[in-house]
Amino acid sequence: MKKTMVVAIAAVFCSSAFAEDVPIIGNVESKCVITTDTQGVYGNPTPDELTTKLADGGVPAIVRYDVITADAYKARISWPDDFVSSPALNDTLAWEGDVTVDQVSDTQMSSYDTDKIEFNNTTEYDLEFAGSTWFKVGSTVNYGYDKSFPGGSYRSIIEAECIAK
């Protein structure tokens, strides 16, 4: 009898369990992140030319844009039009460049290249879809008229902008 009562009392206490709702709160914030995916390298196919073209020993730079919210940003990428540091140069430099879509995380982004806007050395893309887009940036520079680049260190800058719409 005592054993039965002890078991019954224990069962009463065990059955009175407490439960509580513990929420997990999250907030998705629209943001844009720019990442340098591949370092660019200038090749020197001829003494008067530095270029990132693969066929000429160069490597084009690749910049990745990650956008969390669709249609919230536009990307503006400018290829170099001057050296930020170089040996002394006493002749003109002829700059060329291009920006193209290299890879996309969403197949709908394949329209970016056809809808892009180009002005001066800048290319503007409307980032209509959320996800990641890889942009390839090429750069070529010629020195004077068949003039050889002097030996030394050459450095140029790519400007990558992400502007909220």
Contact positions toward other proteins, by CB under 8 A?
29-36, 38-44, 50, 52, 61, 63, 69, 72-73, 80, 84-85, 137, 139, 148-165
Find the shortest distance in angstroms from Cβ 36 to other proteins.
5
Per DSSP, the three-state class of 74 is: strand
Name which of 3 and 165 has its Cβ closer to other proteins.
Answer: 165
Find the shortest distance in angstroms from Cβ 38 to other proteins.
7
Q: How far is CA 122 from CA 99, 104, 139, 161, in A?
A: 8, 20, 12, 10
- Amino acid sitting at position 89: L
Find the shortest distance in angstroms from Cβ 47 to other proteins.
9
Name which of 6 and 33 has its Cβ closer to other proteins.
Answer: 33
Name which of 72 and 104 has its Cβ closer to other proteins.
Answer: 72
What residues pair up with 138 in beta bridges, in sequence order?
98
How does strand 61-67 pair with strand 117-119? unpaired
Name which of 129 and 154 has its Cβ closer to other proteins.
Answer: 154
Find the shortest distance in angstroms from Cβ 120 to other proteins.
14
- Amino acid sitting at position 42: Y
Beta-carbon contacts of 54 under 8 Å, excluding residues fewer than 6 positions away, are 60
State the DSSP code for 92: -
